[in-house]
Amino acid sequence: MTLTRKTAAELASSIKSGEVSAVEVTRAHLDRIAEVDGPAESGVHAFLHVDTDSALAAAAVVDQKRADGDELGPLAGVPLALKDVITTADMPTTAGSKLLEGWRPPYDATITRRLREAGIVILGKTNLDEFAMGSSTENSAFGPSRNPWDLTRIPGGSGGGSAASLAAFEAPLAIGTDTGGSIRQPAAVTGTVGVKPTYGGVSRYGLIACASSLDQAGPCARTVLDAALLHSVIAGHDPNDSTSIDQPVPDIVAAARKGADGDLSGLRVGVVKELGGEGYQAGVEARFNDAVALLSKLGAEVVEVSCPHFAYALPAYYLILPSEVSSNLARFDAMRYGLRLGDDGTRSAEEVMSLTRGAGFGAEAKRRIMLGTYALSSGYYDAYYGQAQKVRTLVARDFDAAFAKADVLVSPTTPTTAFPIGEKVDDPLAMYKNDLCTIPSNLAGNASASFPCGLADEDGLPVGLHVMAPVLADDRLYRVGAAVEQAYAAQWGGTLLEQAPALDGRRGESATADRGVVS
Amino acid sequence: MTVTTALPTFDEAIAAFEPVMGMEVHVELGTATKMFCGCSTTFGAEPNSQVCPVCLGLPGSLPVVNRVAVESAIRIGLALNCSIAEWCRFARKNYFYPDMPKNFQVSQYDEPIAFDGWMDVTVDAETYRIGIERAHMEEDTGKSLHVGGATGRIHGASHSLLDYNRSGIPLIEIVTKPIEVPPAVAPAVARAYVTELRELIRALGVSEARMELGQLRCDANVSLRKAGDPYGTRTETKNVNSLRSVERAVTFEIRRQAAVLSDGGRIVQETRHWHEDTGETTSGRTKEEAEDYRYFPEPDLVPVAPSREWVDELRGTLPEPPAARRARLQAEWGFTDLEMRDVVNAGAVSLVSATVEAGAPAGGAKKWWLGEIARVANERGVALEDAGIAPADVARVEELIAAGALNDKLARQVVEGVLAGEGGPDVVVSARGLQLVNDDAALGTAVDEAIAAQPDVADKIRGGNLGAVGALIGAVMKATRGQADAKRARELILERLQP
């Protein structure tokens, strides 16, 4: 098997045993990126920046450590794709925005530092919707990424670049950030694994904020164990982030290994009745129902739960998020860093700010800044932001009530499979509905994940199983995820991604028509 | 510019209207590090040398609350007899300004850490209780330096420079309830309030509260009304940065507003600038629309919930209240009310106290701080504590006087020398050769010369006219450049000219 097809756990073990060097592993992935990522107009376009030299140098350090007989971490030498909203002192960090094009932060995010300390090799920075706002990467100032299952379709968003890099075998690991589903929805539509940890479980220091109270970084991978290994590298308290949780991280790797036994007996699974029905693609519902049946077959007790306030989660989210966005994005004012337009000696600072922001922000960013500015305005605050915070409390209470009846909750991750690029760009509401199932967990701060659960009959595209666990019970996600993963592997004779079309030579054309449909 | 010729006098103004005041004082805390990051707060460093991703508001950076700043805020609140919140949050105050790196200021809005307190101030032996609305924590902004204009203001400047060293320095904003006192004393009460607050802040040790360094900044709100009417429209005069200016600015605003109202005009709610040189306020930002700061709870910070145990522990660290301390010191020093008031008004209570603690008599300490040192400080436009002499130096000078090593005239020269930066008292004495000449050999020669030079005067003395002795002492002093021990010189002259 080629190196790029291996899991992170396999690669780490091969590097540790000396079967292959970290440099060889890194080079294989860099070659794969060179092969399928470009050109930006028609390739996968998962990466905004690839740093060959620094990746090879980081890999060489791991090889040297091994040669010196030093202890290597469980993911040492494994390449990773980092979402370009997390700061790196040695690479540009753009957040997918023209405003930060070419900006080199003077500091590493806590996540970046922890990755480096673990010997993980950062290949480059992945594409995203501008400031992580979107569900398709079409809001990136640098052009969309494409879904490796079908290059005419979106890879999800905002972390479409990270998910696409995994599905295109450009990297075995990636970091995403999830404000309303930006890890889970791309995972679902690319047939990969994405976990949004409990809010505060992974440091936000160095994560360019979209909405501070909702943002959470997390692991993306092709297997549940790989995600767990990566999760344990980046998790844990950070004194630089006041909202980071100062408590021990649950043993997620052990949970992933235990889950792989395929025994879910004693586990109560709640199906959220409000997350399904009208607006959900038939193939998505079919695969979801299969997954529920599978959980039952694996020994879980399946119950139906009701979360009546989830219906208001989307509108509440679209008041809270833009409010925070309008404030968080105020700093992009051309004064200290990033884009500066019109500074010709004739204009005031205010005029330069205004010109720069007007030209620098994309349409979606502007839309959310305006919505948020309005929602926080005096006279409207109580009716909008204040009410939305109350809904947020009610959503959290729905979760509390549901978790009294079930250990985990399940739903489809997204109402539909990957849609064609361009289909929803002019219909923001349709775009927002992608996150119907994922948003409640951001509002409540609990842990959630998406795992591959098959292909929709009508289009042969991946469907995600959404699993939600209580705050700080991230380990339950891995137990459930690993159990279904091994059951599906037995059923499909491998991972879902093995059913994806080969990328080479089919760029830019729909691969759906001639692909065998597997359910 | 405001036309001042038409202004009524202060007495005319308050004959027609009652002033209502509200004071907003910002205190820069003397913490070693900033409000939300570990950067140093040292004043006067190279521009932009004390900055990091957090206080520059770089993308991705996050704030972490400085525990010492919270502690200082609670102690200030307790000293102002406030309730301390059991749970409160920071809020973002959103507005665009180049010296504000995030374009929002992290402050507190409807959940201040301390609220509902009071402080007593005394003016002309009358005590007035000033209600404290709230004391809250916030971060300072950077500083803009407008270059190329005549005034240093942004208007007319060719470009601006930004220094973010101040960005993120912890501030406590203390807001009074409306101050309603007899109109005649209103400006004096405003001044007394800021004076008393400054004393309190210093006694707490949370800030040096030096107004000339911007460590204590005062905004004065003033409105007028007819007796019995509801509150009138107020103006806010910003950055009134000396005690004297507080009194003058309030007085001016009362007169200005009285003129407008008497003419049938109305007061515009606005920010006004205080001009120290002309003694006037002028209209500042005239906002066509009201500022909307879109406050909302700061999502990057967790709530501050000081435990009651901690608050009680901090209550135990409060210093003696300034008024009680003054009463105690006045009794210890044996000062009259008038003498004590002079010391207080000069802002010299702590300096005199420290000088006394260093061994000087209270009267001597007061004489130096309110005399020679005040004169020099005033000439140089610096605060007393910056004049260049320490309480211990003053005590040493007093010690040398008591030991007979210096007379008053020489002592003044020693103090001058210390103030001029020539070194401590002993260094100045030996460098300038200011020892009192009282050894009989040296003095005897000068006495003999004086007698020889003025035989007629000598004769008068021999004849019993002791009043003439002064002329010879003068000559001896002149010959010794003032360093003779006058008492001993007199004795030697009389010995030689016995009848």
Q: For every residue of A142-204, which 3-state class applies, written as one string?
A: CCCCCECCECCECCCCCCHHHHHHHHCCCCCEEEEEECCCCCHHHHHHHCCEEEECCCCCECC
The reply to whether B144 falls in a domain is: yes
Q: Give one DSSP letter per residue of B360-375, joined into a string.
A: --HHHHHHHHHTHHHH
List the strands of the sheet with B91-94, edge to edge: B104-107, B91-94, B296-297
- Domain final residue, candidates B427, B448, B471: B427
- Domain final residue, candidates B427, B453, B475: B427
The reply to whether A226 falls in a domain is: yes
Task: Considering only CA atoms, give the Rg of chain B.
Answer: 29
pLDDT at B259 (0 to 100)? 96
The reply to whether A237 falls in a domain is: yes
**Annotated catalytic residue A450:** no
Same domain, B146 and B115: yes
Q: Does the structure show a pLDDT above 90 at B497?
A: no
CA distance B89 to chain A (A): 13
Both structure tokens of B426: 């002993």
Q: Give one DSSP letter per residue of A304-354, joined into a string.
A: EE--GGGGGHHHHHHHHHHHHHHHHGGG-SSSSSS-----SSSS-HHHHHH
Whether cis (ω within 30° of 0) applies to the bond prior to B187 is no
Same domain, B103 and B250: yes
Among B53-62, B282-291, B451-460, which is the least confidently predicted range? B282-291
Q: Which domain holds residue B446?
A: 440-496
Average pLDDT over residues B233-240: 93
Both structure tokens of A32: 């794969």
Q: Which domain holds residue A301?
A: 3-312+392-499
The reply to whether B139 falls in a domain is: yes
**B83-84 and B271-275 as β-strands: parallel, antiparallel, unpaired?**
unpaired
Residues 6+ away with beta carbon under 8 Å from B260: B266, B267
> pLDDT confidence of B290, banded at 50, 70, 90?
low
Q: Does the structure show a pLDDT above 90 at B226?
A: yes
User: B92 contacts in A (CB within 8 Å)?
Assistant: 327
Strand partners, A178: A216
CB A204 to CB B62 under 8 A? Answer: yes
Residues 6+ away with beta carbon under 8 Å from A3: A11, A20, A24, A25, A28, A29
Residues 6+ away with beta carbon under 8 Å from B333: B340, B352, B356, B362, B363, B366
Instruction: Please give the tally of structural domains in chain B.
Output: 3
- Helices marked H in B82-217: 186-204
The reply to whether B3 falls in a domain is: no
Supply the ipTM of this predicted assembly.
Answer: 0.94
Outline where DSSP puts E strands in B90-187.
Answer: 91-94, 104-107, 114-123, 126-139, 143-147, 159-163, 170-176
User: A330 contacts in B (CB within 8 Å)?
Assistant: 94, 96, 102-104
Per-residue pLDDT of B429-465, as tens digits, reads 988 888 777 677 778 888 888 888 888 888 888 888 8
**Annotated catalytic residue A145:** no
The reply to whether B35 falls in a domain is: yes
Same domain, B184 and B258: yes
Going residue by residue through chain A (519 aa), what tens digit of pLDDT does each one get? 699 999 999 999 999 999 999 999 999 999 999 999 999 999 999 999 999 999 999 999 999 999 999 999 999 999 999 999 999 999 999 999 999 999 999 999 999 999 999 999 999 999 999 999 999 999 999 999 999 999 999 999 999 999 999 999 999 999 999 999 999 999 999 999 999 999 999 999 999 999 999 999 999 999 999 999 999 999 999 999 999 999 999 999 999 999 999 999 999 999 999 999 999 999 999 999 999 999 999 999 999 999 999 999 999 999 999 999 999 999 999 999 999 999 998 898 899 999 999 999 999 999 999 999 999 999 999 999 999 999 999 999 999 999 999 999 999 999 999 999 999 999 988 889 889 999 999 999 999 999 999 999 999 999 999 999 999 999 999 999 999 999 999 999 999 999 999 986 444 344 444 444 444
CB A331 to CB B101 under 8 A? Answer: yes
Pick from A105, A333, A381: CB nearest B103 = A333
Q: Which of A145, A158, A441, A450 is catalytic?
A: A158
CA distance B293 to chain A (A): 8
| Amino acid identity for residue B50 in this structure | Q
Q: Does the structure show a pLDDT above 90 at B62?
A: yes
The reply to whether B359 falls in a domain is: yes
pLDDT at A351 (0 to 100)? 94
Q: Is B182 helix (H, G, I), strand (E, B) or coil?
A: coil
CB contacts under 8 A, B 145-174 vs A, are 160, 162
The reply to whether A292 falls in a domain is: yes
Per-residue pLDDT of B243-284, as tens digits, reads 999 999 999 999 999 999 999 999 999 999 999 899 999 998
Same domain, B236 and B213: yes
- Domain final residue, candidates B283, B310, B337: B310
CA distance B206 to chain A (A): 25
pLDDT at B480 (0 to 100)? 81
Both structure tokens of B441: 């050999």
Q: Give one DSSP letter per residue of B414-477, joined into a string.
A: HHHHHHTTS-SHHHHHHHHT---B--HHHHHHHHHHHHHH-HHHHHHHHTT-GGGHHHHHHHHH
Task: Tell me, yes or no, if B455 comes closer than 8 A to chain A by beta carbon.
Answer: no
Same domain, B422 and B444: no
Both structure tokens of B460: 């008068």
Single out the residue of B297, B245, B299 nearest to residue B272, CA to CA.
Answer: B245
pLDDT at A507 (0 to 100)? 40
CB B294 to CB A105 under 8 A? Answer: no
The reply to whether B1 falls in a domain is: no
Both structure tokens of B371: 């005399």
Give the mean pLDDT of chain B. Answer: 91
Number of Cβ within a 10 Å radius of residue A141: 21
- The DSSP code for B124 is T
Burial B96-131 (b: 16+ CB within 10 A, else e): bbbbbbbbbbbbbbebbbbbebebebebeeeebebb
| Gap between the Cα atoms of B1 and B282, Å rounded | 7
| Gap between the Cα atoms of B401 and B396, Å rounded | 9
Per-residue pLDDT of B131-172, as tens digits, reads 999 999 999 999 988 887 766 666 677 888 999 999 999 999
Same domain, B423 and B446: no
Both structure tokens of A207: 């994560």
- Helices marked H in A377-418: 387-405
The reply to whether B5 falls in a domain is: no
pLDDT at B287 (0 to 100)? 53
The reply to whether B119 falls in a domain is: yes
Q: Which of A140, A145, A162, A182 is catalytic?
A: A182
| Gap between the Cα atoms of A240 and A254, Å rounded | 28
Pick from B56, B64, B96: CB nearest A330 = B96
pLDDT at B187 (0 to 100)? 98
The reply to whether A264 falls in a domain is: yes
**A79-83 and A121-126 as β-strands: parallel, antiparallel, unpaired?**
parallel
Q: Is A436 helix (H, G, I), strand (E, B) or coil?
A: coil
CB A204 to CB B103 under 8 A? Answer: no
> pLDDT confidence of B499, banded at 50, 70, 90?
low
CA distance A377 to chain B (A): 5
| Gap between the Cα atoms of B477 and B468, Å rounded | 15
CATH value at residue A138 = 3.90.1300.10
Pick from B56, B65, B104: CB nearest A330 = B104
Residues 6+ away with beta carbon under 8 Å from A158: A85, A96, A128, A129, A132, A133, A134, A135, A137, A139, A177, A179, A182, A186, A210
pLDDT at A480 (0 to 100)? 98
Q: Does the structure show a pLDDT above 50 at B288?
A: no
Instruction: Please give the tally of structural domains in chain A.
Output: 1
Rounded to 5 degrees, what angle do the CA atoms B184, B185, B186 make?
100
The reply to whether A513 falls in a domain is: no
Task: Tell me, yes or no, if A205 comes closer than 8 A to chain B by beta carbon.
Answer: yes
Task: Tell me, yes or no, if B103 comes closer than 8 A to chain A by beta carbon.
Answer: yes
CATH value at residue B475 = 1.10.10
Positive or negative, the CA dihedral B244, B245, B250, B254 is positive
